[in-house]
Amino acid sequence: MAEKKPKTKKQEAKSAIVRLTIPSPEQLLEAGVHFGHLKRRWYPKMAPFIYTEKEGVHVFDLYKTRDQLSAAAKFLREVVSKGGRVLFVGTKKQAQEIVAREASRAGAFYLNKRWVGGLLTNFGSVKKNIEKMEDLSKKIREKELSQYTKKEQLLAARDLAKLESDIGGLDGMRELPQALVLASAKSEEIAAAEARQRGIPIVGIVDTNADPSKVNYPIPGNDDASAAISIIIETLANAVKK
C-alpha cells in the first residue's frame, strides 16, 4: 500500500474549516435566535435578514443567520490559522459570563465588564495597565510584597482586583487583535467604531434594531437572550480554538 503524503498547511487549514460544526436552523430556533425587536424599532438595512413579522415583532430568517454565522466562523478560523489573535467583547449582563467562558476556552482575549476607551485607538496607554496588572499579580503570587506594610499590601491587592475586573481578559495582550467579536453590535458601538478606525475586521451579532453595515461579518440574531447569545458565541469560539 502506498504511503499517504502528509497534508500541507493549506490542506490542514481547509480540513479544519470543514470539521467546524455550524448549528442548524432548528437548533438556532430552539435557542431563540429568531426573535427580533418590535417592528417600530427596526433598522431598515436589516430587511434582507428578516423572514416575517409576528404580533408586531420581527422574526429572523434562520437559514440566512446560519449562512452568516458560517461565513463568520470560517473567517475567524482563517485569522487564527495565520497566527492572529481575537478579542471577544460582551458587556451587557446577558453576555458577560458567556463571553468570559467561551473566550477563555478558546484562548482568546475578552472584555466583559465595560469597554475600555482607547483600547484599540490608544493601545500603548492600555498596554501599560495590562503590564501593571501582570506585574502586580506576579509580585503578590510570589510574595514579593512581604517587606511592605500591611496597608501597602492591601492597597496593592485592591489595585490588582480592580485591574483584573476591568481588563483581566486582556492578560498577555501585547498588540492589537486581528479580529473583534461582538456579542451585540448595538451595545458595543464604541468598540466597533474604534475597530473600524484601526481597520480591524468585526464579527458581531446584529439584532433587528442595529445597522449591519457597521460590521464586516454581521450575524443576524437575538442579542438579548442568553441562550441565543450562547449558541452563536460558542460556535465562534470553536472556530478560534486551536
DSSP state of 29: H
Q: What confidence score (pLDDT) does residue 153 get?
A: 77
Question: How far apart (Å, rounded) are the C-alpha atoms in residues 12 and 39?
Answer: 45
Question: How far apart (Å, rounded) are the C-alpha atoms in residues 17 and 143?
Answer: 45
Q: What confidence score (pLDDT) does residue 117 get?
A: 96
pLDDT tens string for the chain (242 positions)? Answer: 344 455 555 555 444 444 789 999 999 999 999 999 999 999 999 999 999 999 999 999 999 999 999 999 999 999 999 999 999 999 999 999 999 999 999 999 999 999 999 999 999 999 999 999 999 988 877 777 777 777 877 888 898 999 999 999 999 999 999 999 999 999 999 999 999 999 999 999 999 999 999 999 999 999 999 999 999 999 999 999 98
Instruction: Delineate the domains of the chain, giving CATH numbers in brackets.
Output: 9-120+176-240 (3.40.50.10490), 123-169 (1.10.287)
Q: What confidence score (pLDDT) does residue 5 get?
A: 54
Q: What confidence score (pLDDT) does residue 17 get?
A: 43
Q: What confidence score (pLDDT) does residue 242 get?
A: 82
Cβ–Cβ < 8 Å for 241, 21: no
- On the CB side of 152, CA atoms within 13 Å amount to 7
Q: What confidence score (pLDDT) does residue 172 get?
A: 95
Q: What confidence score (pLDDT) does residue 19 get?
A: 72
The predicted model scores a pTM of 0.89
Length of the chain: 242
Biggest CA–CA distance in the chain, Å, is 73
